[in-house]
């Protein structure tokens, strides 16, 4: 089995993605897991395979009283450590394998039970103190390998192509690119053309995007890319999250936050409209990126280079030298 970046910290979910007492299935590096959260906010994770006859535990149900998951096949019950529960009592040692999680605020991280090779990044906690959490957008499996997906996040030259449609980005000059190990930062400007009335009607948040948007990209290899844009309403922060499901499938979702500075956001109904519309715009961005990466032909050595493309060799280097 080919594990992608063993020992990397992966952000596999935000708490809001888990309902209370409902199994949530994830796949990380070719292994399926089931995660659940109880009403107290405690979170558990097991390998998704029942140790009796290998049924998927995620198709089972949660028992509130015992904090346990019941297998959908013969109704055996396991606690969050993988121990059998019988008549409400724990019986013996764990027989289902658990997945170690690290819960940081509302973020659910894991090393997939590998020895950690990098600390859990503090970028999201640091940058979002006191900000409004708007929600999750673009929770999608991309049919492409992890390296191709992460390269799109680092490729700061793609917005006038991939995101030209809807966002009307006509140029995206880069002012600076700094890197320090697994951390990198880019300062960039988007220059936009006018949207059509129909586009504005379909997506009112486009009205809040000026023709020139100053933005920053902050990278914590390999899981997190922050895109932070200055708009007249304040700052919009999108954390693009990636983790490898299999060699050929990559999971993505975006955490959206705002630092509102303009009191117009408090006008009844307006804030909700903008929030919904920003989530919709973010989902559109993910859809455009996913389609772009899924449509690529097998990689060859480029016969032409764009200016300032060194960020691409930087991220490929981090990946291959892991
Ligand atoms: S397969 Fe799970 S209880 Fe039998
Ligand atoms: Fe993109």
CATH of the domain at 159: 3.90.380.10
Ligand 1 contact, 50 CB (< 6 A): yes
Rounded Cα–Cα distance for residues 302 and 316 (Å): 14
Mean pLDDT over each residue of the chain, to the nearest integer: 94
Asked if the structure places residue 301 within a domain, the reply is: no
Q: Is the CB of 95 under 6 A from ligand 1?
A: no
- The mean-pLDDT minimum among 50-54, 135-139, 196-200 falls in 196-200
Q: What is the mean pLDDT of residues 143-159?
A: 94
Any domain includes 29: yes
Are both 135 and 31 inside the same structural domain?
no
CB under 5 Å of ion ligand 2: residues: 289
Q: Which atom of ligand 1 is nearest to the CA of 71?
A: 2
Q: What is the pLDDT confidence band of residue 50, given thresholds at 50, 70 and 90? A: very high
Distance 28 CA to ligand 1 centre (A): 23
For the cut 80, the answer to whether the pLDDT of residue 1 exceeds it is no
Final residue before a domain boundary, out of 84, 110, 136: 110
- Counting ligands in written order, the one closest to the CA of 50 is 1
Higher-scoring residue by pLDDT: 99, 156: 99
- The parent domain of residue 288 ranges over 126-296+306-320
Give the nearest ligand 1 atom to 75 CA: 3
| pLDDT tens-digit map of 221-280 | 999 999 999 888 999 999 999 999 999 999 999 999 999 999 989 899 999 999 999 999
CATH number at residue 97: 2.102.10.10
Cα(236)–Cα(259) distance, integer angstroms = 6
pLDDT band at 95 (very low <50, low <70, confident <90, very high): very high
User: Which is it for the CA torsion 189, 251, 1, 116, positive or negative?
Assistant: positive
pLDDT the model gives residue 80: 96
Q: Is the pLDDT of residue 184 over 80?
A: yes
Is residue 116 a part of any domain in this protein? no
- Nearest Cα residue to 148 out of 2, 32, 29, 295: 295
76-90, 191-205, 243-257: the lowest-pLDDT one: 191-205
* Alpha carbon nearest to ligand 1 atom 3, residue: 74
Which atom number of ligand 1 is nearest to the Cα of residue 53?
1
Structure tokens at 249: 């499938």
For range 9-38, the mean pLDDT = 98
Any atom of ligand 1 within 6 Å of the Cβ of 55: yes
**pLDDT at residue number 178:** 95
Asked if residues 265 and 273 have their Cβ atoms less than 8 Å apart, the reply is no
Does the beta carbon of 25 sit less than 6 angstroms from any atom of ligand 1?
no
Looking at the fold, whether 68 and 190 belong to one and the same domain comes out as no
What is the count of structural domains for the chain?
Answer: 2
Ligand 2 centroid distance, CA of 164 (Å): 10
How far apart are alpha carbons 242 and 13 in whole angstroms?
Answer: 10
């Amino acid at each position: 089995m080919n594990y992608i970046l063993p020992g990397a910290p992966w952000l596999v979910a935000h708490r809001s993605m888990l309902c209370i007492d409902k199994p949530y299935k994830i796949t990380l590096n070719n292994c399926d897991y089931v995660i659940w959260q109880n009403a107290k906010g405690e979170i558990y994770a097991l390998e998704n395979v029942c140790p009796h006859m290998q049924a998927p535990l995620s198709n089972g149900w949660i028992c509130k009283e015992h904090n346990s998951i019941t297998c959908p096949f013969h109704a055996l019950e396991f606690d969050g450590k993988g121990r059998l529960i019988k008549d409400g009592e724990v019986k013996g040692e764990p027989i289902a394998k658990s997945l170690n999680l690290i819960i940081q605020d509302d973020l659910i991280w894991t090393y997939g039970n590998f020895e950690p090779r990098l600390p859990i990044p503090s970028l999201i906690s640091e940058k979002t103190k006191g900000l409004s959490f708007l929600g999750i957008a673009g929770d999608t499996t991309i049919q492409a390998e992890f390296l191709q997906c992460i390269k799109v996040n680092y490729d700061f030259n793609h917005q006038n192509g991939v995101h030209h449609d809807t966002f009307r980005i006509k140029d995206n000059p880069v002012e600076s690119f700094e890197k320090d190990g697994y951390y990198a930062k880019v300062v960039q400007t988007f220059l936009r053309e006018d949207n059509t009335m129909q586009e504005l009607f379909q997506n009112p948040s486009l009205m809040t995007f000026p023709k020139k948007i100053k933005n920053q990209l902050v990278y914590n290899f390999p899981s997190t890319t922050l895109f932070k844009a200055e708009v007249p309403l304040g700052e919009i922060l999108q954390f693009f999250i990636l983790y490898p499901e299999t060699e050929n499938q990559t999971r993505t979702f975006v955490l959206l936050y705002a630092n509102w500075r303009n009191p117009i956001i408090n006008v009844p109904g307006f804030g909700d409209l903008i929030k919904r519309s920003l989530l919709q715009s973010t989902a559109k961005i993910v859809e455009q990126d996913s389609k772009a990466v899924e449509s690529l032909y097998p990689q060859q050595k480029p016969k032409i280079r764009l200016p300032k493309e060194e960020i691409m060799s930087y991220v490929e280097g981090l990946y291959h030298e892991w």
